[in-house]
Chains A and B, each alone.
Chain A
Amino acid sequence: MAAPTTPAEIGGIGHSVQRKEDARLIEGQGNFLDDIDLPSTLHMAILRSPLAHARINGIDSEAAMALDGVLAVVTGDLMDQHGLAWMPTLSGDTQAVLATDKVRYQGQEVAAVIATDPYIATDALELIEVDYEDLPPITTPQQSLEEGAALIRDEKEGQTDNLAYTWETGDKGATEEAFAQADRVVTLETHYPRSHPAPLETCGIVADVNSVTGQATIYMTSQAPHAHRTLFAMVAGLPEQNIRIVSPDIGGGFGNKVPIYPGYVVATAASLLIGQPVKWVESRTENLISTGFARDYYMKGELAVTDEGRILGLRVNMLSDQGAFYSDAQPTQFRAGLFHVVTGSYDFPAAHIDCKGAFTNKAPGGVAYRCSFRITEASYLIERLVQNAAYEVGIDPAEMRLRNFIQPEQFPYETATGFVYDSGDYPTALRTALDEVGYEDLRREQAEARAEGRLIGIGIAHFTEAVGAGPSRTYDIAGLKMIDSAELRVHPTGKAILKLGVKTQGQGHETTFAQIVAEVLGIPAIDIKVEHGDTDHTPYGLGTYASRSTPVGGAATAVVARKLADKSKKIAAHLLEAADEDIELASGVFSVAGSPDRSVTIQDVALAAYTNLPEGMEYGLEDVTYYDPPNLTYPYGSYIVVVEVDPDTGVWQVQRMVALDDCGVRINPMIVEGQICGGLTEGFAMSAMQWITFDEDGNCIGANFMDYLVPTAWETPKFELLATEVPSPHHPIGAKGVGESATVGSPAAFVNAVIDAVAHLGVRNIDMPVLPDRVWAAIDEAS
Chain B
Amino acid sequence: MFPSRFDLVVAQTVAEAVEAKVDAGEGGRFLAGGQSLIPMMKMRVAFPETLIDINRIGGLDAIERSNGHLQVGALVRHADVVASDSTFGAIAAAAPWVADPLVRNRGTMCGSVAHCDPEGDWNSVLLATGAEVIAHGPGGERSISIADFVDGAFTSTLGEDELVVGLRIPVPSGRSGGAYLKLERKIGDYATVAVASHLELDDSGGISTAGLALTSVNPINTKVADAEALLVGQQPSDELFAEAAELAAAAAEPRDDVRGTAAWKRQVVRTYTKRGLAAAAQQAEGS
Partners in one complex: yes
| Chain A interface residues toward B at CB < 8 A | 118-119, 121-123, 126, 283-285, 648-651, 689, 693, 701-702, 704, 706-707, 709-712, 714-715, 771-773, 776-777
Q: Given A118-B2, A711-B186, are A773 and B261 neighbors across the interface (CB < 8 Å)?
A: yes
In the complex, besides A649-B267, A709-B185, 16 extra interface pairs with C-beta distance below 8 angstroms are: A122-B44, A283-B1, A648-B271, A649-B264, A649-B268, A649-B271, A689-B186, A693-B258, A701-B258, A702-B258, A706-B189, A707-B258, A715-B187, A772-B264, A772-B268, A773-B264
B187 to chain A, nearest CB (A): 4
Q: Pick 18 A–B contacts, CB within 8 A, sort by A.
A: A119-B4, A123-B4, A283-B1, A285-B43, A649-B268, A651-B183, A689-B186, A701-B258, A704-B43, A706-B189, A707-B258, A709-B186, A714-B186, A714-B187, A715-B187, A771-B259, A773-B260, A773-B261
Asked if B186 contacts A776 (CB within 8 A), the reply is no
When chains A and B are docked, how far (Å) is the Cα of A689 from the Cα of B5? 36
- Give 10 nearest A-B pairs by CB, closest first: A773-B260, A773-B264, A714-B187, A122-B2, A648-B271, A119-B2, A283-B1, A715-B186, A773-B261, A709-B186
Partner of B264 from the list A285, A650, A706 (CB cut-off 8 Å) is A650
Contact, CB under 8 Å: B186 / A772: no
Which of under 10, 10 to 19, 20 to 34, or 35 or more describes the interface residues of B?
20 to 34
Give residues in B with beta carbon < 8 Å to A: 1-5, 43-44, 100, 183, 185-190, 258-261, 263-265, 267-268, 271-272
Report chain B residues within 8 Å CB of A777.
261, 263-264
Asked if B187 and A712 make an inter-chain contact with CB atoms under 8 angstroms apart, the answer reads yes
- A123 / chain B contacts, CB cutoff of 8 Å: 4-5
Q: Establish whether residues A712 and B258, one from each chain, have CB atoms under 8 Å apart when the complex forms.
A: no
In the assembled complex, how far is the CB of residue B195 from the closest CB belonging to chain A, in whole angstroms? 12
**Contact residue among B3, B183, B263 (Cβ-Cβ distance under 8 Å from A772):** B183
Most chain A C-beta atoms within 10 Å of own C-beta, residue among B3, B100, B258, B260: B258
A456 CA to B177 CA, complexed, in Å? 32
Contact in complex: B260, A771 (CB < 8 Å): yes
**A766 CB, nearest partner CB in chain B, Å:** 13
Q: A712 contacts B188, CB within 8 Å?
A: yes
Q: Within 8 Å CB of A689, what residues of B?
A: 185-186
Residues of A within 8 A of B259 (CB): 771, 773
**Residues of chain B contacted by A714 (CB below 8 angstroms):** 186-187
Question: In the docked arrangement, what's the CA distance between A665 and B241, Å?
Answer: 59
Closest to B272 in A: A649
A702 partner residues in chain B, CB cutoff 8 A: 258
| Cβ contact within 8 Å between B1 and A284 | yes
State A501–B258 Cα separation when bound (angstroms): 42
Which of chain B's residues has its CB closest to A711's CB?
Answer: B186
Chain A positions within 8 Å of B187 at CB level: 712, 714-715
What is the minimal beta-carbon distance from A201 to any residue of chain B, in angstroms? 14
Q: In the complex, which residue of chain A has the Cβ closest to the Cβ of B261?
A: A773
Q: Which residues of A contact B43 (CB under 8 A)?
A: 285, 704
Contact at B267–A648, with CB atoms within 8 Å? yes
Measured between alpha carbons, how far is A352 from B267 in the docked complex, in Å? Answer: 44
Min C-beta distance of B28 to chain A, whole Å: 21
Residues of A within 8 A of B2 (CB): 118-119, 121-122
Pick the contact of B100: A121, A701, A712, A771 (CB < 8 A). A712
For the complex, give the distance between the alpha carbons of A649 and B189 in Å.
18
Bound Cα distance from A648 to B242, whole angstroms: 13
Closest to A774 in B: B260
Residues in chain B near residue A710, CB distance under 8 A: 186
Residues of A within 8 A of B188 (CB): 712
B272 partner residues in chain A, CB cutoff 8 A: 649
Q: How far is the CA of A651 from the CA of B186 in the complex (A)?
A: 12
Contact of A776 among B100, B189, B258, B264 (CB under 8 A): B264
Q: How many angstroms between the C-alpha atoms of A710 and B43 in the bound complex? A: 20
- Please give, as numbers and ranges, the residues of chain B lying within 8 Å of A776 by CB-CB distance: 264, 267
| B261 contacts A649, C-beta separation under 8 Å | no
Nearest neighbor of B264 in chain A, beta-carbon distance: A773
Nearest chain A CB to B39's CB is how many angstroms away? 9
C-alpha gap A674/B3 in the complex (Å): 37
Instruction: Tell me how far the C-beta of B81 lies from the nearest C-beta in chain A, rounded to whole angstroms.
Output: 19
Chain B nearest CB, measured from A718 CB (Å): 16
**A204 vs B53: C-alpha distance in the bound complex, in angstroms?**
33
Q: How far is the CB of B216 from the nearest CB of chain A, in Å?
A: 13
Most buried by A among B2, B259, B268: B2
Name the A residues within 8 Å of B264 (CB-CB): 649-650, 772-773, 776-777
Tell me, in angstroms, the Cα distance from A711 to B188 when the chains sit together: 10
Cβ-defined contact, B183 with A649, below 8 A: yes
User: Considering residues A283, A689, A693, A776, which has the most beta carbons from chain B within 10 angstroms of its beta carbon?
Assistant: A776
A685 to chain B, nearest CB (A): 9
Across the interface, name the chain A residue whose C-beta is closest to B47. Answer: A126
Residues of B within 8 A of A707 (CB): 258
Which residue in chain B gives the minimum CB-CB distance to A691?
A: B258
CA A773 – CA B43 in complex, angstroms?
30
Nearest-neighbor residue (CB-CB) of B262 within chain A: A773
Bound Cα distance from A651 to B43, whole angstroms? 32
Q: Which of chain B's residues have a CB closer than 8 A to the CB of A704?
A: 43
Whole-angstrom distance between the alpha carbons of A649 and B193 in the complex?
Answer: 11
Q: How far is the CB of A163 from chain B (nearest CB, A)?
A: 29
Indicate if the CB atoms of B260 and A772 lie closer than 8 Å: yes
| CA–CA, A710 and B190, complex, Å | 14
CA distance A661 to B43 in the complex (A): 42
**Judging by beta carbons under 8 Å apart, are A119 and B261 in contact?**
no
Question: Please, which residue of chain B has its CB at the minimum distance from the CB of A125?
Answer: B44
Q: In the complex, what distance in Å separates the CA atom of A135 from the CA atom of B183?
A: 39
CA A709 – CA B186 in complex, angstroms? 7
- Closest Cβ–Cβ distance, residue B244 to chain A (whole Å): 16
Determine which residue in B259, B260, B272 has the highest number of CB atoms from chain A within 10 A of its CB, and name it: B260
Kindly state the separation between the CA atoms of A702 and B267 in the bound complex, as whole angstroms.
25
In the complex, the chain B residue whose C-beta lies closest to that of A708 is B258
* Closest CB in chain A relative to B37 CB, distance in Å: 15
Nearest CB of chain A from residue B241's CB, rounded to whole Å: 13
**What is the distance, in angstroms, from A763's C-beta to the closest C-beta of chain B?**
16
Residues of A with C-beta under 8 A to B265: 773
Query: In the complex the two chains form, what is the Cα distance from A648 to B186 in whole Å?
Result: 19
Q: What distance in Å separates the Cβ of A264 from its nearest Cβ neighbour in chain B?
A: 20
Tell me the nearest residue of chain A to B190, going by C-beta.
Answer: A706
Which residues of chain A come closer than 8 Å to B190, judged between CB atoms? 706
Residues in chain B near residue A649, CB distance under 8 A: 183, 264, 267-268, 271-272
A121 to B4, CA, bound (A): 11
Q: When A711-B186, A772-B183 are in contact, do A119 and B267 touch as well, CB less than 8 Å?
A: no
The complex places the Cα of A711 from the Cα of B267 at a distance, in Å, of 25
**Chain A nearest CB, measured from B69 CB (Å):** 33
Nearest Cβ in chain B — how far from A566, in angstroms?
54
How far apart sit A710 and B271, CA to CA, in the bound complex (Å)? 27
In the complex, which residues of chain B have a beta carbon less than 8 angstroms from the beta carbon of A121?
A: 2
Q: A residues within 8 A CB of B186?
A: 689, 709-712, 714-715
Smallest distance from the beta carbon of A195 to chain B beta carbons, Å? 13
Residues of B within 8 A of A771 (CB): 259-260
Contacts of B1 in A (CB 8 A): 283-284
A773 CB contacts on chain B under 8 angstroms: 259-261, 264-265
**Docked CA distance A285–B183 (Å):** 25
Chain B residues with Cβ below 8 Å from A772 are 183, 260, 264, 268
**CB-defined contacts of A693 to chain B, threshold 8 Å:** 258
The chain A residue sitting closest to B100, CB to CB, is: A712
Across the interface, which residues of B come within 8 angstroms of A701, CB to CB? Answer: 258
Q: What CA separation (Å) do A715 and B43 show in the bound complex?
A: 27
B271: chain A residues at CB < 8 Å are 648-649
Q: In the complex the two chains form, is A119's CB within 8 Å of B100's CB?
A: no
Residues of A contacting B263 in the complex (Cβ-Cβ under 8 angstroms): 777
How many angstroms from the CA of A714 to the CA of B185 in the assembled complex?
11
Chain B nearest CB from A101 CB (Å) reads: 28
Give the CA-CA distance A541 to B27 in the complex, in Å: 55
A690 to chain B, nearest CB (A): 10
- CB-CB under 8 A from B261, the residues of chain A are 773, 777
User: CA separation between A649 and B273, bound complex, in Å?
Assistant: 12
Among A122, A651, A773, the one with the most B-chain Cβ atoms within 10 Å of its Cβ is A773
Give the complex CA separation of A122 and B190 in angstroms: 29
